[in-house]
Amino acid sequence: MKTLWQNCHAATMAQGVYAIIEDAAIVTQGEHIHWIGPRAELPAGDYPAVNDLKGAWVTPGLIDCHTHTVFGGNRSGEFEQRLQGVSYADIAAAGGGIASTVRATRAASEEELFASAAKRLKSLLRDGVTTVEIKSGYGLDLASERKILRVIRRLGAELPVCVRSTCLAAHALPPEYKDRADDYIEHICTVMLPALAAEGLVDAVDAFCEYLAFSPAQVERVFITAQQLGLPVKLHAEQLSSLHGSSLAARYQALSADHLEFMTEDDAIAMAASGTVAVLLPGAFYFLRETQLPPMDALRRHGVKIAVASDLNPGTSPALSVRLMLNMACTCFRMTPEEALAGVTIHAAQALGMARTHGSLEAGKVADFVAWHIDRPADLSYWLGGELEKRVVRHGVEID
Ligand code: DI6
Ligand code: FE
């Protein structure tokens, strides 16, 4: 059955720009967009269901392409300590930081992890998110990573959102492998990834390439294993220092390299050549009070596609709003509202390998869209948080 949605304007985001259609009409059929264009050109036909969008602006459903939504505990206590003058290094030496989240995550039941992650995910959904990527990476042993990945799958099954799962076993060194990083990488490649992939729990593989995490050589071993398993790769790269992880990611045709504050122009050239998306994470930049900006000019000049994501995690980006990330991308990174919106739609879809079916309003794509009661698309980057009046359509059906 065909459904007509009309009395709206559309920012279709095709080709990564607004590509506005004023006084648009959208015809959905089942889960897909059947036709979209100016209402004056609507094909004659029988539309048994007609929805009046009352002048709303329609955009693709938002896509948050980098989150760590599933974790135990939280670190607001550490945040408070740091503001009282305790250093990050002192906190880490006392067993805090990422290690404390790993302990809390290992101790939590699948049920507890699901309940806490569902609350956070619902918060993201209130911003019109219809697709989200969630990483493991706070378990760091086979059973705990499996537990997280199963929660990620269950979130996708039970909440009205398409969920992509990424295995980030190479996030940090677990305590039982202290001073044995190569052995842990070996364990990931020979035991964890093959088992988790065989169980159908993994859509992509990620790693943290950083002097305080894993070296490019170690990351490369993870990438080779992922490719043998037929899984696409992504990388946390150039967040705190320049190890050229983003160039390494490009060599492995990574879907994305993420963070990138310390990347070089040569890294940008390599990413442009391989079509690797630059995922910028303004929440982490802001929360860490980073001052090194990602090289926006080089990314633009070389035509690297830029996505924006929340990085929702307990240590460096406790961000529960994607629209707030749009504002931060504009204020912190000087992205335009148009670039920022492309960053949470079509370019985010590309960062997940889903651009053929998601991320823009085009005939043939999945009918995931949001009708916003706003004056113009820039309002999505303009307002700082809060909630905007909107209607969300997922797979052609309106959801609450
Ligand atoms: N980069 C980050 O900012 C987070 N992970 C990563 O790879 C930090 C995670 C944490 O501190 O819990
Ligand atoms: Fe991250």
For the segment 247-272, what is each residue's pLDDT rounded down to a tens digit? 999 999 999 999 999 999 999 999 99
Q: Whose CA is nearest to atom 2 of ligand 1?
A: 316
Q: Closest ligand 1 atom, CA of 288?
A: 3
What's the gap in Å between 248 CA and the centre of ligand 2?
18
Q: Whose CA is nearest to atom 12 of ligand 1?
A: 315
What's the gap in Å between 67 CA and the centre of ligand 2?
6
Q: Closest ligand 1 atom, CA of 71?
A: 12
Q: Closest ligand 1 atom, CA of 236?
A: 7
CA–CA dist 139, 147 (Å, integer): 8
pLDDT tens digits along 318-359: 999 999 999 999 999 999 999 999 999 999 999 999 999 999
With the most atoms of ligand 1 within 8 angstroms of its CB, the residue from 103, 219, 290, 316 to mutate is 316
R_g (Cα) of the chain, nearest Å: 21
Rounded to an integer, the average pLDDT of 108-133 is: 98
Domains observed in the chain: 2-59+359-399 (2.30.40.10), 62-351 (3.20.20.140)
Asked whether 315 lines ligand 1 (CB < 6 A), one says yes
CA–CA dist 380, 11 (Å, integer): 12
Q: Determine the pLDDT at residue 4.
A: 98
Q: Which of 100, 162, 155, 106 is nearest to 130 (CA)?
A: 162
pLDDT tens digits along 196-236: 999 999 999 999 999 989 999 999 999 999 999 999 999 99
What's the gap in Å between 387 CA and the centre of ligand 1?
27
Q: Which ligand is nearest to the CA of 170?
A: 1
> Under a CB-based contact definition with an 8 Å cutoff, are residues 58 and 33 in contact?
no
Q: Determine the pLDDT at residue 90.
A: 87
For the whole prediction, is pTM greater than 0.95?
Answer: yes
Residues whose beta carbons lie less than 5 angstroms from ion ligand 2 = 311
What's the gap in Å between 214 CA and the centre of ligand 1?
13
Q: Which of 1, 49, 4 is nearest to 26 (CA)?
A: 4
For residue 211, CA distances in Å to 89, 172, 174 come to 15, 11, 16
With the most atoms of ligand 1 within 8 angstroms of its CB, the residue from 66, 68, 88 to mutate is 68
For residue 345, count other CB atoms closer than 10 A to its CB.
Answer: 31
> Under a CB-based contact definition with an 8 Å cutoff, are residues 321 and 127 in contact?
yes
